[in-house]
């Protein structure tokens, strides 16, 4: 779905839950002057850069998506990939109860 996800990594406060924001928002993340240390920023895990105090990162939806061709359709491909790559929610199946269990 057209959405931007905001996910904290190991937040210090337990009420900081991940958020799903609409795609039209512009996010700005600022490293304040009062910060104890500098931060680093990585784009797709690459191009790592130092973020100095006072600097910020502005993030918004790009007007250019990457169109990838589906093997079947977007839902089936995605669900198959979840199952194949991550074993999504795989568990040992629960046995049915016996015929006379509730009697």
Partner 1 sequence: MIHPMATVPLLWLSLLVLALPFSPCLPQHLKPPSPPLQASINALTNAYDNSINSTFGITYSDPSGVACSIVDIREQVRNDEISFAGPATGQVVLEHIKPKTSLNILILVKRDDPSLTPLLLSLLDKLTSRSFFSSPTERPPTTGSSPPSSFVPTLFFEPDLFKSLKHDHTLPHLTSPHIAKFAPPHPPPPSNPTLLGFDPNPPSGLFSCLSSTKLDLVLTFGGDGLLMHASTLFPAACPPVLAVAGGSLGFLTPFEKASMYEAVLWATGLQEATDGQTDEGQEVEAPMPVELADLPPAPPTYQFPSPLRLSMRMRLDCRVLSATGHERCRFNVLNELAIDRGASSCLAALDCYCDDSFLTQIAADGILVATPTGSTAYSMAAGGSVVHPAGEELASTRARKKLALHCCCHVY
Closest CA to 61 of 25, 9, 102: 25
Q: Give the list of residues 6+ apart from residue 6 with CB closer than 8 angstroms, or none.
A: 18, 19, 20, 21, 27
CB of 49 to partner 1, least distance (A): 7
Q: Measured from the CB atom, is 65 or 96 closer to partner 1?
A: 65
Find the shortest distance in angstroms from Cβ 77 to partner 1.
5
Compare residues 61 and 101 and give the one whose CB is closer to partner 1.
61
Nearest approach, Cβ of residue 15 and partner 1 (Å): 10
- How far apart are CB 92 and partner 1 at their closest, in Å? 22
Choose between 2 and 96: whose C-beta lies nearer to partner 1: 2
What is the end-to-end Cα distance of the chain in Å, rounded? 47
Burial 82-102 (b: 16+ CB within 10 A, else e): eeeeeeeeeeeeeeeeeeeee
Give the nearer residue to partner 1 in terms of CB position, either 32 or 98: 32
């Amino acid at each position: 779905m057209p959405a931007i996800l905001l996910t904290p990594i190991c937040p210090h406060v337990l009420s900081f839950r991940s958020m799903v924001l609409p795609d039209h928002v512009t996010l700005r993340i600022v490293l304040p002057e009062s910060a104890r240390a500098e931060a680093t920023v990585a784009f797709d895990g690459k191009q790592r850069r130092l973020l100095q105090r006072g600097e910020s990162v502005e993030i918004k939806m790009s007007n250019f998506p990457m169109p990838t061709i589906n093997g079947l359709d977007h839902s089936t491909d995605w669900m198959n990939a979840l199952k194949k790559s991550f074993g999504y929610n795989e568990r040992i199946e629960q046995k049915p109860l016996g015929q006379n269990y509730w009697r």
